Amino acid sequence: AGTVEVDEENETILANGTLIQVIYANDPAEIDYTAYDIHDAIVVDNTGRWRDEEGLSQHLRSTGVSRVLLTAPGKGGIKNIVFGVNSDDITPDDAIVSAASCTTNAITPVLAAIDEAYGVRRGHVETVHSFTNDQNLIDNFHSGPRRGRAASLNMVITETGAAKAVAKALPQLKGKLTGSAIRVPTPNVSLAILNLQLDRATTADEINAFLRQTSLTAPLRQQIDYSENPDAVSTDFVGTNRAGIVDGLATLSEGDENVVLYVWYDNEYGYSGQVLRVLERMAGVHPRILPRREPVRIEAALVEEALV
């Protein structure tokens, strides 16, 4: 909602009073940001063209750029940050940072909370993901054979690096998770199914109460939401600004160590919110919040509090 004006002569967009400068270049190093009065810029690279330090460092050769934020899982030694989980790992010396992926941001906060309270022994993550523009609209050649099939006509089994990426934010889960994905013909909002074996037994009611309380009062409440809407479907979560929404009515547990959780996420808007939070942390521009959010650990005692 609002007004958008395009000034073709000055190559700007005025969106709700915010002036956006449009800059074109074939090579990032060709751009002089200072010519537009932009200094010490953080470039947010969402092209997907480069994911390693060598490729992304091309932005650092641009005049006026100081740091780079990648909106995809980084390769090599690049820090993969899920805000709220390991965002304290960002330092002023980090010239290139990754905000991981939408799926990683959706599931990592939930896994962090569950692991802290119950302990995750092992698990599998199955993602039902809206199709993306790296798939073909009609059957055609593709480096990934299944992704070459028509995205709007098929459910497509594919790979996901989200399970491995979780371990970069939660090292204690390294080697404990597997993952796969199914691309489906919807434009937005995806669903992660977490099939977990815990260190101790629980029930659906208990773990739902814990996750609901986490979404309300815990430090991860910016990342985790909770729903018990009986007729909820994917479009109901369009525009959600939290990384993931636990669907409490879909939770499965028989009172033993095995639990299945369903986590919705707006893989566009919800993930963008996480990217902005990382960007604010890198730039040191987040407004002061009162009362101050203490970086307390999620304790199992929160389960008892939720059940009272």
Residue 102 appears among annotated catalytic residues: yes
Question: Which pair of tokens denotes residue 149?
Answer: 């099939």
Residue 80's nearest CA partner among 95, 93, 99 is 99
Last residue of a domain, one of 48, 74, 100: 100
- The confidence score (pLDDT) of residue 305 equals 58
- The confidence score (pLDDT) of residue 38 equals 93
pLDDT in tens, 247-300: 999 999 999 999 999 999 999 999 999 999 999 999 988 777 676 666 545 455
Q: Which residue has the higher pLDDT, 296 or 178?
A: 178
My answer on whether 137 and 51 are in the same domain is no
Going 235 to 237 to 243 to 245, the CA torsion angle's sign is: negative
- The confidence score (pLDDT) of residue 251 equals 98
My answer on whether 163 and 189 are in the same domain is yes
Residue 109 CA to its chain's centroid (Å): 10
82 part of a folded domain:
yes
- The confidence score (pLDDT) of residue 129 equals 96
> Which of 46-60, 183-197, 224-238, 279-293 comes out lowest in average pLDDT?
279-293
- The confidence score (pLDDT) of residue 304 equals 60
- The confidence score (pLDDT) of residue 296 equals 46
Last residue of a domain, one of 100, 117, 143: 100
Catalytic residue among 43, 69, 85, 102: 102
User: What's the pTM value of the predicted model, to 2 decimals?
Assistant: 0.89
Q: Residue 56 is part of which domain span?
A: 4-100
Q: Which residue has the higher pLDDT, 285 or 308?
A: 285
Q: What is the CATH number of the domain that holds 232?
A: 3.30.360.10
Residue 69 CA to its chain's centroid (Å): 13
280 part of a folded domain:
no
Residue 302's nearest CA partner among 208, 195, 227 is 208
Does residue 207 contact residue 259 with C-beta atoms inside 8 Å? yes
Does residue 106 contact residue 274 with C-beta atoms inside 8 Å? no
Count of the separate structural domains present in the chain: 2
- The confidence score (pLDDT) of residue 109 equals 97
Does residue 82 contact residue 104 with C-beta atoms inside 8 Å? yes
Question: Which pair of tokens denotes residue 247?
Answer: 């669907």
